[in-house]
Chains A and B, each alone.
Chain A
Amino acid sequence: GENVEQHPSTLSVQEGDSAVIKCTYSDSASNYFPWYKQELGKGPQLIIDIRSNVGEKKDQRIAVTLNKTAKHFSLHITETQPEDSAVYFCAAPVGGGGADGLTFGKGTHLIIQP
């Protein structure tokens, strides 16, 4: 099955600086890589995703990059703001084809320091 490793587990950055969270996956057949944000007391919400036919995708201050050769993908948040403080999860399809759902990383607690 798919194995997803996420780093770091905790990331503290100054407001206005950039934050980068990295994930690696094991199954080279995987082709869909979403990122979820979980705020305190809520369920995770999709913030951005990327498919294997593109190397980078941006949505305002958030971007995801994908390196299929190295089997890793990263979340980039620029100009961080207090509302970016949350737990972030990466995910990849179980078994490559995705029929069995998603495997999630263990999460990164992002702390934005004022």
Chain B
Amino acid sequence: GDSVTQMEGPVTLSEEAFLTINCTYTATGYPSLFWYVQYPGEGLQLLLKATKADDKGSNKGFEATYRKETTSFHLEKGSVQVSDSAVYFCALNTNTGNQFYFGTGTSLTVIP
């Protein structure tokens, strides 16, 4: 079945470090891919998305490229800030029933 596997955390980085959070997926057809962010005590917020192969989603300095050949959608940011501390979820939408599948989440802590 459709699923998402993402890098286990927690991840701790110093401010201005480079961030990569790995995400791979299994899906039939051509899913849309998403990264959601969850700040402490809040619901999930859409961070970025890509709807077809080779698309790059970007927002707030974060980027992810939809790689069909490697079934991946890794999240990257060149220079993290303390305010980026949150849990990040990779997700896919099957597009055949508007159903979403989420990874288990990766907790990021950025220290000054």
Partners in one complex: no
Interface residues, chain B, with chain A CB atoms under 8 Å away: none
